[in-house]
Amino acid sequence: MKWGVVRFPGSLDDADALHALGEVLGQDAAMLWHKDEVLGGAECIVLPGGFSYGDYLRCGAIARFSPIMRSVARFAAEGGLVIGICNGFQILCEAHLLPGALMRNRSLAFVCDFVTVRVENAATPFTRAARAGEILRLPIKHGEGCYVAPEEELRAMEERGQVLLRYVDESGAASDAANPNGSMRSIAGVANQGFNVFGLMPHPEHAVEMALGGEDGRRIFASIIAGAASAAPRVSG
Amino acid sequence: MSAAPIALPGEPRVDLAEARAHGLSAEEYAAIERLLGRTPTFTELGVFSVMWSEHCSYKSSRKHLRMLPMSGPNVVGGPGENAGAIDVGDGWVAVFKIESHNHPSYVEPYQGAATGVGGILRDIFTMGARPIASMNSLKFGSFDHPRTRFLVGGVVGGIGGYGNCVGVPTVAGEVMFDAGYNGNILVNAFALGLARREDLQSARARGAGNPVLYVGSATGRDGIHGASLLASAEFDAESESKRPTVQVGDPFTEKLLIEACLEAMKTGAIVAIQDMGAAGLTSSSSEMAGRGGLGIELDLDRVPLREADLTPYEILLSESQERMLIVAERGREAELQAVFAKWDLHALVIGQVTGDGRWRTLHRGRVVADLPVGAISDDAPVYDRPARAPSAIDALAAASESAAETDAPAPAAALRALLGSPNVASKRWVYRQYDSIVRSNTMVGPGSDAAVLRIKDSRRGLALKVDSNPRACAIDPYIGAVAAVCEAARNVACAGARPAGISNCLNYGNPERPEIMWQFIRGVEGLRDAAIALGTPVISGNVSFYNETEGRAIAPTPVIAMVGTFADVRLHLKQYFKIAGDAVVVVRSAAPSYAASEYAALFGAPPRPLAPIDLGRERRLLDGLVECAERRLIRSAHDVSEGGLAVALAEACFNPAGMMGVEVDAGEGGHDGEVLFGEGASTVVISAPIENIEVIHQVFAPLEVRRIGRVTAAARLTIGAAINEDLAALKQIYETALPGRLNRP
Amino acid sequence: MRARVFVTPRKGILDPQGRAVEGALASLGISGVANLRVGRYVTLEIDAPSHAAAEAMVKRMCEQLLANPNIEDFRFEVDAR
C-alpha cells in the first residue's frame, strides 16, 4: 500500500516513519515535502513526530498552514486515512481535523519512556488488527502531550468510541500513576467522527523492531494495511 | 595589495593599556606590533584578543597536547580539522568530539547548556557527517549549595530543550555532585556523526577567486563583552547593552542547517565548510584560509545583521549561533543558494578566497583589518608555562581529604546509603528528559554501562560512554587520568565493543599557577600512556582552563568520551543478569581500595594511597570482554565503579525486563568493607552459563577470575551472612534518591 | 490590586520564536510585518499596604522569577486600587 510521510521544517521522526514503513514493513512509502500540494497517490498520510517550526508559538500552530495541509484536509474530508503521531497529532488538532488540544505535560517536563496503552476500540481502520482491551507497549517522547477537550465533547467522544488508546498500567488499569502527561481521562489517542483520521502521542514507528525495544507498534500499521488490502484505492489530489 | 586599514571615528586609541584591557599581555601586544610592522587598528586588536585567547589558541596547552597519540590504522583525519574520524567498517566513518561550555552554563544554565549542544553538533556536520548521537558529562556542586538545584534544572532543561528539538538522540552521560564544583560547574557536550568515507568534507580553502558564503542565522551581539563595545562609547545605550549578550540557541534553525548542509554537500559545489563557533566569522574564515595556505577577503556590509548598528568589531567577533561559512566552487553559488532557500535559510556571498595570504575585512568600503592569515591562527603564542608538583605535605592532604572516619556502618546499611547517594543512584530523572530513540538506531540507551547504536544496512555498530574520575585525579592527576581512560574503555567493552577512539575534554584550573600546570601535564601524560596501551588514539578534544572561583580550582577533571566498534552489533551485551542459575563471576585486574571511593566520601575510611594502574592487565581485561562477547560466552557484563562491588551486584539485578536476584557465597572476603565497597581496581561483574566458566578463565588469564555466586529468580541480594536485602526495596531507594534530593526545598 | 507584567526578549537577544512566527505570517501572505517578538504576559492580584509597596513587590517578583534577567526585560503596571 502507498504511504506518504509529510516532512515539515523541524520534523524529526519523519525518517523513522519512512524507515519503519518502507524498510521494516515493506511498504511503498514516500516523503512528501510540506510545500508540495500533491499527495503522490498515497492511501494513508502520516504526519510524523518532531518539533515542526521548533514548536514555536504553539506546537503545530505554524505547520497547519503549510501548503500540503490544504491537500491533507481535502483528502481527509473525502475519507482518506490520516495518522498523526505526536507532533502530527498536535498539528491535526490545530488544523481542527481532530477535536481537542495538546498542552504541556502536567509535570512540565519532557518525558521519553515506554508506556502501556489499552486499545479501547478495535473496530477502526487503525486498530482492527488488535483486540479491544489489548495492551500495547509503545514509547513516548514529548513535553506537550496532555490531551484536553471540553467535558461535554469528551463524553460524546467516549460514547462514539472515538477514544482509541488510553494510558494504563501493566495490569490494564488507568490511573494517575500510569498517566505520563496528565491527559484528561488518560487519553493517548483519538479518532475523528468519521474514523479516518487518528492522532496519538505514542510512537508506533519506534516499536516495529524487537532489536530496538519492542514490536507492538506493528499492530497499528498492520490494521491500516489490512484495511487497504480490502478497500478500493482512493483518489487523492 | 590594498591600503593599510584606518581607524574608525569614535574608536578608542590602540595602545598597551587598551591591549591589556582586552586581556593581552605586554609581550603579546609587542609580538602583534612586530608581526604587523605597525600598531593594530581597534578592530584588529579585538580580533587578536579573541584569537589569541586561551579558549581559541590553546596557548597554554598546545605544546603538551602534541604528545597525545592521534594516529592509528583506523584513524581518518585527526585534530587540526574540526573533529577527527575513525573507520568503523563497511565504508562508514564515525566523526566525534567533546567540548566544554562550563562558564556560560554557570551564568545562564539553560542557554549555556543548549548552545554547548548546538556548538558541538555543528563541529560534526560541518565535516559531512550526520549527527546521530549525543552524550554529556555534568559536574554540579553539592546539594547544600544554594545554586545547585537551579543549575541542575537549567542545564538538564537546556540539553533536552536543544537536543530533543534538533533530532539527535542523547544516549549516555554522567552526572556528579561534589562541593568542589560549587562555584564552577562543568558541562561537557559530546556528539558523534556518521558519514560514508568519501563524503567527508574539508575545512581547507582552495582556489583563489572562489566565493565565500555565509549561511544561517543573522549576526547579533551574542557573546560580545559590553566593555569592548564601540557602541557604548558612541551611543548613550541603555545600561543593558553593557552587559554581555547571552548566546541564545535556536535548535529549529540548527535542524534546518543540518538538513540543508548535508543536502548542499551532495551537490559537490562545496570546496570547504566550517562552522562559526568561538570568534565566529573571524576564526572560521581565518582557519579555512590558513589551512589552505591562502588568503580571504570579507565584505562585512554583506553580513545579515540582527541589529543594524553592529560595528565591524562586533560583526567579526560575534558568537551568534547556527551559522556556517562555506567556500564554494566559483560559478556554483546559485546552486548552493537554491538548496538553502528550500530550507528558508540565508545563504549570501560575503567575500572570496584570495591568493595573497592576507586576512582582510572591509566595512563601508574601507579596510578595517588586514592581517597575515597565520598571525591570528598558526602564529598565536605557544607557552611552556612553569609546572611544579605540590609539596609532599599538600599531596598527603589531598590524599586524606575524605570524610572524617566514623564508625564503619554495617554492610547492609552502607549498601543502602550508597544506593541512595546521588553519585551512585539512578540518573533516570535526568535521562528521561532526553529523547534517546530518535533516528531509530538506539539498541541500548541510557541506564546501562554504555550506549549501543546500530548502523542501518550493516552488521556494524557503535558503543559510546563518557567517564571521568576527579576524586582519583585530586590525589594523583596522572593515575586519575589513566583511570578515566580505562573506565571509559571498560564500559564500552562491557557492552561487547572494541574500544576504538577517544575524544577528551580536559577541565582544569588556572594554568598560570604552576601546580595547576603540573596537574594538566600529568593528566595529559596519563591520557597518552593509557591511550597507547589500550589502542585508542585521541581523535579530537578540547581544553577548558580557568575553572576556579576565588583562587580555588576544581579537582583536575579530564573527561574521556570513548567510542567502540562492533563487527556484529547483534552480539552486544547489557549490564543486567538475565537467567536464573547463571554463574556470577568477578574479573579483576587489581585489588579494590577505599582510595577515591564514594564509600570514603560518605563514611570516611582508612587512608589509602592510589595504586598505580597496570595497563597491560587493563588491556587484557578489555580484550577478554570483547572476546567473551564475540564468542557468546557470557550473558551480561557490568563495570564496577562508584559504590564498589555490592552496588554493581544490585545494579545488575535491576533488569528492566524483570528483576533478578543474586546469591554470593560467604568466604569471598565477603564481609570486608573494602572488598564490598572499594573502587579503584578494574573490576567487572559477569553472568554466564555455568558450563562456560572454564573457558572464561582461559580467556581472561592471567587476571583474577573468581566465581562468587549465582543469579537467582527470587529478587533478593545476599552476600554471605552480611547482606540479605529485598531488591525491590533497594531499587526504590536507588530510583527515588535523585528526584528526592532535587525536589527538597 | 491588580498587576500586569509584560516580559519580552531583551533588545539584541536572539528571539527564535519571533523569527519563526514572523516567517509564518509571511508565508500566509501577510506582508509588511517586521520586528515581531514573542514574550509573556502575566496577570495577578496583589495584597499590599500601598500602591508603592505593591509596585516594589511586583518589581522583585519580576527580577527574581517572572523574567530571566540574562535574556529578558520586563515592565509592569499596577492598578490604582
Q: ipTM of the assembly?
A: 0.95
- Please give the helix or strand (H or E) that residue B235 lies within, else none: none
For B323-342, write each residue's pLDDT tens digit: 999 999 999 999 999 999 99
A15 close contact with B: CB closer than 8 A: yes
For B338-383, write each residue's pLDDT tens digit: 999 999 998 999 999 999 999 999 999 999 999 999 898 888 899 9
Longest CA span, chain B: 86
Best of A36, A141, A209 to mutate (most B CBs within 10 Å, chain B): A141
Nearest to B704 by CA among B645, B617, B626, B637: B617
Alpha-carbon gap, residue B464 to B442, rounded angstroms: 11
What pLDDT, on the 0 to 100 scale, is given for residue B80?
Answer: 53
Q: Check if B671 is active-site.
A: no
Q: Report, as an integer, the average pLDDT of A151-170.
A: 97
* CB contact set of B184 (below 8 Å; sequence gap of 6+): B102, B103, B106, B547, B548, B549, B554
Share of chain B above pLDDT 90, in %: 82
A56 and B252 within 8 Å at the Cβ level: the answer is yes
What pLDDT, on the 0 to 100 scale, is given for residue B233?
Answer: 32
A97 DSSP 8-state letter: S
Strand partners, B193: B95, B131
What pLDDT, on the 0 to 100 scale, is given for residue B229?
Answer: 36
Nearest to B321 by CA among B235, B194, B221: B221
Partner-chain residue, chosen from B240, B249, B321, that has the shortest CB–CB distance to C11: B240
What pLDDT, on the 0 to 100 scale, is given for residue B230?
Answer: 34
For B209-236, write each residue's pLDDT tens digit: 999 999 999 999 888 864 333 333 333 3
In chain B, which residues have their Cβ closer than 8 Å to the Cβ of A205?
440
B11: left (phi over 0), alpha (psi -120 to 50) or beta: beta
C-alpha R_g of chain B: 27
- Confidence class of residue B668 from pLDDT cuts 50, 70 and 90? low
* CB contact set of B612 (below 8 Å; sequence gap of 6+): B479
Alpha-carbon gap, residue B363 to B55, rounded angstroms: 27
Strand arrangement of the beta sheet that strand B84-89 belongs to: B75-76, B84-89, B92-100, B186-196, B130-140, B170-177
For A97-150, write each residue's pLDDT tens digit: 999 999 999 999 999 999 999 999 999 999 999 999 999 999 999 999 999 999
Has residue B596 got a pLDDT over 70?
yes
Model's pTM, two decimal places? Answer: 0.94
- Confidence class of residue B83 from pLDDT cuts 50, 70 and 90? low
Which alpha helices (DSSP H) does B8-129 contain, by range?
16-21, 26-36, 42-51, 54-57, 62-65, 102-107, 109-125
For C65-74, write each residue's pLDDT tens digit: 888 888 889 9
B435 close contact with A: CB closer than 8 A: yes
Nearest-CA distance A19 → chain C (Å): 29
B433 close contact with A: CB closer than 8 A: yes
The C-side interface with A (CB below 8 A) comprises 16-17, 20-21, 24, 27-28, 38
B380 DSSP 8-state letter: S
Partner-chain residue, chosen from C16, C20, C70, that has the shortest CB–CB distance to B246: C70
Nearest-CA distance B1 → chain A (Å): 45
A57 and C21 within 8 Å at the Cβ level: the answer is yes
Q: Check if A146 is active-site.
A: no
If you write DSSP's letter for every residue of B585-627 in order, what string do you get? EEEESS--BSTT-HHHHHH-----PPPPP-HHHHHHHHHHHHH
Q: Which chain C residue is nearest to residue B108, measuring alpha carbons?
A: C70
Q: Which CATH superfamily groups domain A2-230?
A: Class I glutamine amidotransferase (GATase) domain (3.40.50.880)
Cell of C29: 501572505
Which position among B22, B101, B572, B638 bears the catalytic label? B101
A8 close contact with C: CB closer than 8 A: no
Which position among A86, A120, A142, A206 bears the catalytic label? A86
Chains with ≥3 CB–CB distances under 8 Å to A: B, C
Alpha-carbon gap, residue A60 to A95, rounded angstroms: 8
Partner-chain residue, chosen from C20, C23, C71, that has the shortest CB–CB distance to B246: C71
A95 close contact with C: CB closer than 8 A: no
Nearest-CA distance C66 → chain B (Å): 15
Partner-chain residue, chosen from A10, A109, A206, that has the shortest CB–CB distance to B440: A206
For B255-286, write each residue's pLDDT tens digit: 999 999 999 999 999 999 999 988 899 999 99
Which alpha helices (DSSP H) does B231-318 contain, by range?
231-234, 251-266, 280-291, 312-317
In chain C, which residues have their Cβ closer than 8 Å to the Cβ of A53?
20, 24
Nearest-CA distance B252 → chain A (Å): 5
> What fold characterizes domain C2-78?
Mth169; Chain: A , (3.30.1280)
A54 and C20 within 8 Å at the Cβ level: the answer is yes
- Confidence class of residue B605 from pLDDT cuts 50, 70 and 90? confident
In chain C, which residues have their Cβ closer than 8 Å to the Cβ of A34?
none
Report how far Cα B549 is from the mean position of its chain's Cα atoms: 22
Q: Check if A205 is active-site.
A: yes
If you write DSSP's letter for every residue of A152-196 in order, what string do you get? HHHHHHHHHT-EEEEEE-TTS---TTT-SS--GGGEEEEE-TTS-
Q: Could you state, in order of their start, the residue ranges of all structural domains in chain C?
A: 2-78
A51 and B432 within 8 Å at the Cβ level: the answer is no
A147 close contact with B: CB closer than 8 A: no
In chain B, which residues have their Cβ closer than 8 Å to the Cβ of C72?
none
C14 and B240 within 8 Å at the Cβ level: the answer is no
A214 DSSP 8-state letter: B
B164 and A110 within 8 Å at the Cβ level: the answer is yes
What pLDDT, on the 0 to 100 scale, is given for residue B7?
Answer: 79
B237 DSSP 8-state letter: -
- Please give the helix or strand (H or E) that residue B460 lies within, else none: none
A206 and B437 within 8 Å at the Cβ level: the answer is yes
Which position among A19, A34, A142, A203 bears the catalytic label? A203
C81 close contact with B: CB closer than 8 A: no
In chain A, which residues have their Cβ closer than 8 Å to the Cβ of C17?
54, 56-57
A61 close contact with B: CB closer than 8 A: no
Has residue B399 got a pLDDT over 60?
no
C14 and B250 within 8 Å at the Cβ level: the answer is yes
In chain A, which residues have their Cβ closer than 8 Å to the Cβ of B158?
none
The number of beta carbons lying within 10 Å of the beta carbon of residue B275 is 28
| Strand pairing class (A2-7; A28-33) | parallel
Whole-number average pLDDT of chain B: 92
Q: Is the dihedral of CA B590, B596, B602, B607 positive or negative?
A: positive
C60 close contact with B: CB closer than 8 A: no
Q: Which chain C residue is nearest to residue A62, measuring alpha carbons?
A: C24
Alpha-carbon gap, residue A189 to A236, rounded angstroms: 25
Cell of B59: 596557548
Which alpha helices (DSSP H) does B420-559 contain, by range?
428-431, 470-475, 477-494, 514-534
Alpha-carbon gap, residue B421 to B418, rounded angstroms: 5
Has residue B30 got a pLDDT over 50?
yes
Whole-number average pLDDT of chain C: 90
Contact yes or no for B348/B213 (Cβ under 8 A) = yes
Has residue B138 got a pLDDT over 60?
yes
- Confidence class of residue B408 from pLDDT cuts 50, 70 and 90? confident
The b/e string for B681-712 (b: 16+ C-beta within 10 A; e otherwise) is bbbbbbbbeeebeeebeebbeebebebbbbbb
Most confident of B50-59, B228-237, B491-500, C39-48: B491-500
- Confidence class of residue A56 from pLDDT cuts 50, 70 and 90? confident
A112 and B436 within 8 Å at the Cβ level: the answer is yes
Q: Report, as an integer, the average pLDDT of B557-575.
A: 98
Q: Could you state, in order of their start, the residue ranges of all structural domains in chain A?
A: 2-230
3-state secondary structure at position B522: helix
Partner-chain residue, chosen from C13, C16, C73, that has the shortest CB–CB distance to B253: C16
Nearest-CA distance B240 → chain C (Å): 8
Q: Which chain A residue is nearest to residue C39, measuring alpha carbons?
A: A57
Nearest to B173 by CA among B466, B505, B591: B466
What pLDDT, on the 0 to 100 scale, is given for residue B242?
Answer: 43
